[in-house]
Structure 1
Amino acid sequence: MATQVRTIYRPGLTGTIVDSMVQTLPTRGPRLLQSELHRPGRVFEHITPNWFASVMGTGIVATAGATLPVHVPGLHAFATVVWLIASTALVALSVAFLVHWVRHRRNARAALHDPVMVQFYGAPPMALLTVGAGTMLLGKDLIGAGAATTVFAVLWSAGTVLGLITSVAVPYSMITRPSDGQTRPLPAWLMPVVPPMVSASTGALLLPHIAEGQWRLTMLGACYAMFGLSLLIGIMTMTLIYGQLLGGGAPPVQAAPTVWITLGLIGQSITAANLLGADAALVFVGPDSGVGPDNAVATGLEIFGIVYGFIMGGLGFLMFCLALALTVHSSRRGLSFSLTWWSFTFPVGTCVTGAAALAAATGSTALVGLAAVLYVLLLAAWVTVATRTAHGSLRGELLG
């Protein structure tokens, strides 16, 4: 017998992740994609937004490698190759997702109206932002600094606009849809909340390339506003999720990997707070800044990033241990592979970038070591999940 993962849509489905429905089918030996699928067009039938989590998880391996505060021979070249893979995947999935909406509109609308799958519409904007950051950090070696900055600015703008739309539209759809009173808070609820935080952290990379004066000040203020939007709504959402875990028990076995999503908000917010704090001096400088020559505002924002990083890091430790324990708990109860396993990658990657940014702000060697250890864990998770995704896609198990 073999385990096959299929996407199944059911009206009002709650409490589990729709892409992780598992069926047990008779084993028919190795099968390639074209022999597995009766019609080539079915390749596009199940390209739902959660597929973009694979771009997020791959892109963060590249960006985290580029910012890792340790020198490892060959790491930069490896990160560049991974960024190219993520970029290719982003283009391919974007085209496939468009075809999905054109040729399989019924499935697309079903996913859009499903209370769980709609949460993953936060994945496409984060995929754009992650690949964009990789372009800025790694792509300049291949296409030049000017072209890399332009591409990054376009991807950042598109990802930011889509992320802001998602952060409003998804909660609105949940508020206005008929409720049966049995909806339980899920870690997936964080997916449409995190994109503005990713915009804030990656916006720090774009800030030095903005014209000085009011334009740069506006950019910094917008990034902090998105930081606040994502952080406050995210904390409220995490409170609901934590309360559900305590009062409602462990999530369904196949949904257990999504608990790792909580680390995405934590790690990304630490990254944003420290990167923006480091860049604040680019805005609040000199006697013409309105704050005096001692740059008090810039210093205050830098201190805020450090204090925030250590405080939020404590919460990150708790959620990391809890997510790990729940994953082990579920693995003993038959956890099988599905696209939800990509939750093991991007959130851990944000913890790498968060530790690296906090290490740069404080000079802590302990944080440098933590970033390195977390990156090793990220690599192990990415290799495992990427390999199984490729295998499942070639066999048609994730597409048919």
Structure 2
Amino acid sequence: MAVTLLAHTLRLRRPLTHLPRPLEVIRQFTPNWFAVTMGTGILSLALGQWPGHPRLLTRIGEVLWLLNILLFALCTMLYSARWALFYPQAKRVFGHATVSMFFGTIPMGLATLINGLVQYGLPRWGEAALHWAYALWWLDAALALVCGVAIPFFMFTRQEHRIDQMTAVWLLPVVAGEVAAASAGALAPHLADATTRFHLLVASYALWAYSVPVAVSILVILMLRLALHKLPQASMAASSWLALGPLGTAALGMLLLGAEAPATFAAQGLGDAGQVAAGVGLVAGLLFWGLGLWWLLLAALITIRYLKVGLPFNLGWWGFTFPIGVYALATLKLGALLHLGFFDWLGEALVVSLTGLWLLVAGRTAAGAYHGSLFVSPCIAHGHN
């Protein structure tokens, strides 16, 4: 009996047991994996923005940020290798109605690294971190622009969609623009040159508008879909939280850009516009935060309903993390601006929830990656062109 149990344990501990050969890791690698960098990155930022900035939490956040750099580099290498080694199969992603949406996770994951360069790299490495952050931000913005229009174009021309099969993953490619805008709001105050800050803010407001109205229009369609066809299958349960992401990011972007606008606009002789932008930023941030609260409560109720029937684990579970994280950052920012304890307390509760979720999802992802069960490319399985 003991020998049987030992043999079973050793068998479970062998790596990649679900794959016929190790090279399948590359052949089956999809952009969905970049969602891991989004969730890890947002937790690293949230821990460093806890009210009072406790030294221990800041140190843990910095370690997670460094880990996230390695994760992003690994995902980039594996996905690049797939295109190099398995190009005919890799290009099928553009015809897949779900996997193609996850291209948006690439610039959004990169944005968390850029914010980390400002939050953690600047105190450690000085001006060099800012130069890297600024250069990478323009790359991030370019990727967000491409994702925001290319994936909808493929939706309209190559992919098959039905309203009853729609989920909130439609948001992923278009939300990347507002994530980049919010990232610029964190970067801009640290740039010394006033003209550079001005250019960055102008580009960021344009990116915010490039993204948020499209995301809100998708949410309207999503409401109709849920009312007519009810909840999606349990494997897509985490997608109910994705709607919180663009609302939290929209709020955070308006708050950060509005806080920087007065000084930056005044340096260009646009002081009145800067004051207006600051007021609009605060009010718009509150409004989007309020709408996000509605989605937060709704998503919690939906998740409780799913839990009654069971939730199969997949990479989609990372959809629980980034939306909660960015909403927590917006909540903490409102607490800092309005000096209302309610926002601090709620933001702290959200960060604690995010930490627990990250530990759960990261642990199961690590196990699934070790055994190889999470390396599955639906576009290969379904033969999309």
1:104 maps to a residue whose letter is F
Could you tell me which of 101, 108, 113 is aligned with 1:126?
108
Moved more, 249-258 or 296-305: 296-305
Report deviation, 1:79. 0.3
Report the Cα distance in structure 1 between the residues aligned to 2:160 and 2:25, rounded to whole angstroms: 33
Partner of 2:228: 247
Report the Cα distance in structure 1 between the residues aligned to 2:152 and 2:96, rounded to whole angstroms: 13
Partner of 1:50: 32
Report deviation, 1:28. 9.6
The 8 Å contact of residues 251 and 287 in structure 2, kept in 1 or not, is answered as no
Partner of 1:17: none
Report the Cα distance in structure 1 between the residues aligned to 2:317 and 2:202, rounded to whole angstroms: 35
Q: Relative to structure 1, is the Cα distance of residues 364 and 297 closer, same or farther in structure 2, using a 3 angstrom cutoff?
A: farther
3-state SS, counterpart of residue 309 of structure 2: coil
Report deviation, 1:178. 6.1
Report the Cα distance in structure 1 between the residues aligned to 2:161 and 2:77, rounded to whole angstroms: 36
Report the Cα distance in structure 1 between the residues aligned to 2:153 and 2:204, rounded to whole angstroms: 23
3-state SS, counterpart of residue 337 of structure 1: coil
3-state SS, counterpart of residue 312 of structure 2: coil
Identity %: 30
2:78 maps to a residue whose letter is A
Q: Relative to structure 1, is the Cα distance of residues 179 and 396 closer, same or farther in structure 2, using a 3 angstrom cutoff?
A: closer
Could you tell me which of 214, 231, 238 is aligned with 2:219?
238
Partner of 2:375: 399
Partner of 2:261: 280
1:351 maps to a residue whose letter is Y
The 8 Å contact of residues 240 and 299 in structure 2, kept in 1 or not, is answered as yes
Could you tell me which of 89, 105, 109 is aligned with 2:71?
89
Report the Cα distance in structure 2 between the residues aligned to 1:107 and 1:382, rounded to whole angstroms: 31
Matched, 1:75 2:38: no
Please list, as runs of the form range in 1=range in 2, the aligned pairs for 1:320-331 lying within 5 A after superposition: 320-331=296-307
Report the Cα distance in structure 1 between the residues aligned to 2:126 and 2:227, rounded to whole angstroms: 49
The 8 Å contact of residues 42 and 112 in structure 2, kept in 1 or not, is answered as yes
1:60 maps to a residue whose letter is I
Report deviation, 1:302. 1.8
Matched, 1:345 2:327: no
2:36 maps to a residue whose letter is S
3-state SS, counterpart of residue 173 of structure 1: helix
Could you tell me which of 192, 199, 218 is aligned with 2:180?
199
Matched, 1:149 2:130: yes
Report deviation, 1:35. 4.5
Report deviation, 1:211. 5.7
Report the Cα distance in structure 2 between the residues aligned to 1:107 and 1:379, rounded to whole angstroms: 36
Deviations 1:189-213 (A, max 9, x none): 0000111111111111222344645
Moved more, 326-335 or 91-100: 326-335
Matched, 1:290 2:269: yes
Report the Cα distance in structure 2 between the residues aligned to 1:373 and 1:179, rounded to whole angstroms: 40
3-state SS, counterpart of residue 76 of structure 2: helix
3-state SS, counterpart of residue 372 of structure 2: coil
Report the Cα distance in structure 2 between the residues aligned to 1:347 and 1:41, rounded to whole angstroms: 33
Report the Cα distance in structure 1 between the residues aligned to 2:194 and 2:11, rounded to whole angstroms: 64
Partner of 1:390: 366
Structure 2: which 5+ runs fail to align?
1-7, 377-385
Report deviation, 1:276. 0.5
Report deviation, 1:157. 1.7
3-state SS, counterpart of residue 374 of structure 2: coil
Moved more, 74-83 or 34-43: 34-43
Structure 1: which 5+ runs fail to align?
1-25
Partner of 1:310: 286
Report the Cα distance in structure 1 between the residues aligned to 2:109 and 2:117, rounded to whole angstroms: 12
After the TM superposition, list the runs of 4 or more consecutive aligned residues in structure 1 that deviate by more than 6 angstroms: none
Give the TM-score normalised by the residue count of structure 1.
Answer: 0.87
Partner of 1:7: none
3-state SS, counterpart of residue 265 of structure 2: coil
Report the Cα distance in structure 2 between the residues aligned to 1:371 and 1:182, rounded to whole angstroms: 35
Q: Relative to structure 1, is the Cα distance of residues 100 and 180 closer, same or farther in structure 2, using a 3 angstrom cutoff?
A: closer
1:290 maps to a residue whose letter is G
1:235 maps to a residue whose letter is V
Report the Cα distance in structure 2 between the residues aligned to 1:300 and 1:32, rounded to whole angstroms: 61
1:360 maps to a residue whose letter is A
Give the TM-score normalised by the residue count of structure 2.
Answer: 0.90
Partner of 2:354: 378
Partner of 2:379: none
Report deviation, 1:73. 4.1
Report the Cα distance in structure 2 between the residues aligned to 1:146 and 1:364, rounded to whole angstroms: 34
1:84 maps to a residue whose letter is L
Report deviation, 1:334. 2.5
Moved more, 170-179 or 211-220: 211-220
Deviations 1:216-239 (A, max 9, x none): 322211111111111110110111
Deviations 1:144-176 (A, max 9, x none): 112211221232122111111010101111111
Report the Cα distance in structure 2 between the residues aligned to 1:394 and 1:257, rounded to whole angstroms: 22
3-state SS, counterpart of residue 12 of structure 2: coil
2:68 maps to a residue whose letter is A
Report the Cα distance in structure 1 between the residues aligned to 2:205 and 2:196, rounded to whole angstroms: 14
3-state SS, counterpart of residue 171 of structure 1: helix
2:275 maps to a residue whose letter is T
